[in-house]
Amino acid sequence: MSSPPSLVVEGLAFAYPDGHQALYGVDLTVGRGERVAVLGPNGAGKTTLVLHLNGILTGGRGRVEVAGLPVAKTNLAEIRRRVGIVFQDPDDQLFMPTVREDVAFGPANLGLRGPELADRIEEALALVGMAGYADRPPHHLSYGQRRRVAVATVLAMRPEILVLDEPSSNLDPASRRELADILLALPVTILMVTHDLPYALQLCPRAVILDDGVIVRDAPTYDLLCDDATMAAHRLELPFGFDPRTVARPTG
């Protein structure tokens, strides 16, 4: 029997208390190990969708399941372990005196102690190339290093899905490349919300466009970025001088 997809969203609709309808019926299935970019203009509903994946937002219509487990109040602790969200600003996630304590925070709340907790910290920091920084204060690290530690705090929970909100923002070119290499090597499902279209092409073989609260396209990232009419219709613009047609089509 095959395992369920990492993520199933069916008919997800949501309105905020002020009456603003953010999602009108989103359908999205992400298989285990897939890397999918979520593209779209500002105000399209991307953040609202992400906040439904681990139950931060609830109360709308539709269904969300993570690895076959419904996102519901009775399952929230397990859902939040399985869905790791890395926010755009790493300083929103790093608040302890040392890197080690930041990475330990989540697993310790699950009850891990002693050697098991130490192993989990070591494993997560190794995955992001920060093994030698465990005893450093996060605020002494570069911005790119803090972003990697923020990813490690989520990986320490051994999530089913890693959700990344604008992972390349404010990174210099070297840090951007280093993070890409790390993300490509991770053995987890990745959902990446981004306006950085070259980064989406590099990291995610598949992309969806969310606009006006619905998914309007779901296709290989390369095909979407080469579709000038679709790009224009949804206010997606490539950086000056970047032509996806000159890039080798990604293979997975």
The 10s digit of each residue's pLDDT in 20-50 is 999 999 999 999 999 999 999 988 999 999 9
Question: What integer pLDDT is reported at residue 43 of this predicted model?
Answer: 87
User: 252 or 28, which is more confident?
Assistant: 28
**Distance, CA of 88 to CA of 16 (rounded, Å):** 22
Q: Which domain holds residue 85?
A: 7-95+159-246
**Distance, CA of 60 to CA of 169 (rounded, Å):** 30
**How do residues 179-197 score in pLDDT, each as one tens digit?**
999 999 998 999 999 999 9
**Angle of CA points 211, 216, 219, to nearest 5°:** 125
All residues at 6 or more sequence positions from 241 whose CB lies less than 8 Å from its CB, including other chains = none
Q: Does residue 134 belong to any structural domain of this protein?
A: no
Residue 250 binned pLDDT confidence (cut-offs 50, 70, 90):
low
* The token pair that represents 47 in the structure block: 């953040």
Q: Does residue 56 belong to any structural domain of this protein?
A: yes
- CATH number, domain containing residue 176: 3.40.50.300
Total domains in the chain come to 1
Q: Is the pLDDT of residue 202 over 90?
A: yes
**Distance, CA of 176 to CA of 202 (rounded, Å):** 11
pTM for this predicted structure: 0.94
Phi, psi of 32 (to 5 degrees): -60, 130
